[in-house]
Amino acid sequence: MSGQSSQDDTNNRIVAVTLDEESIGRSGPDIEHERAIAIYDLIEQNLFAPEGDAGGPFSLHIGINGNRLMFDIRRQNGDPVVVHLMSLTPFRRIVKDYFLICDSYHQAIRTATPDKIEAIDMGRRGIHDEGSRTLMERLDGKVRIDFETARRLFTLVSVLHWKG
C-alpha cells in the first residue's frame, strides 16, 4: 500500500475510468463537476497496481452491485484482470457526512464569510481524507494505491454511493 514510486510503476496506472450509470443517483451540477474533475485528475496522475499482476496500464469500471462496491479492473485493451467486490457498510456514514458538509460548503460559497468557508472546507477535506484512508484499507492486499489516487477514487465512490 506504500506510495513509493519506482520505475516498475510506470505502467501501474489507470488510463480510463467508467462509472456504472445504473449505480449513479441523480445529482446536481456541483457533484457532476466534482465527478468530472476527479476522473480527469485520476487519469492524469495515479498509482494503481493490482496485487500479483504484471502491470498495466488499466481501465477501471466502478459500480455498485447490491450492497457492494465493485472495482472491475481490465487491461487497457479490455481484457479482464480482476473484479473486487467490497462491502459498502464502512463507507455509508463517511459518504453521508461528506455530502452533508459538501452541501454546506456549496451554500457557504454563495453567502458566508471567507473564515466560515475555510472552516467548512477544512471539515470537508477531513471527512474526504477519512474516506480515502478507508478505501486504502479496503483495497490493502488487493490493489496498491497512493493517497492522492485514493482521494480521487473516493470522490467517484461517493458519487456512486449517493442516491440524492
* 36-60 confidence digits (pLDDT tens): 888 999 999 999 999 988 888 999 9
pLDDT band at 20; cut points 50, 70, 90: confident
* Distance from C-alpha of 65 to C-alpha of 50, rounded to nearest angstrom: 20
Q: What is the pLDDT of residue 26?
A: 61
The edge-to-edge listing of strands for the beta sheet with 68-75 is: 14-19, 58-65, 68-75, 80-87
pTM for this predicted structure: 0.86
pLDDT band for position 150 (cuts 50, 70, 90): very high
Q: Give the pLDDT confidence of 60-94 residue by residue, as tens digits.
A: 999 988 889 999 999 999 999 999 999 999 999 99
Measured from the Cβ of residue 5, the count of other Cβ atoms closer than 10 Å reads 11
Helix then strand then coil, % of the chain, to nearest 5: 50, 20, 25
Of the two residues 158 and 30, the one the predictor is more confident about is: 158
27 — pLDDT class (breaks 50, 70, 90):
low
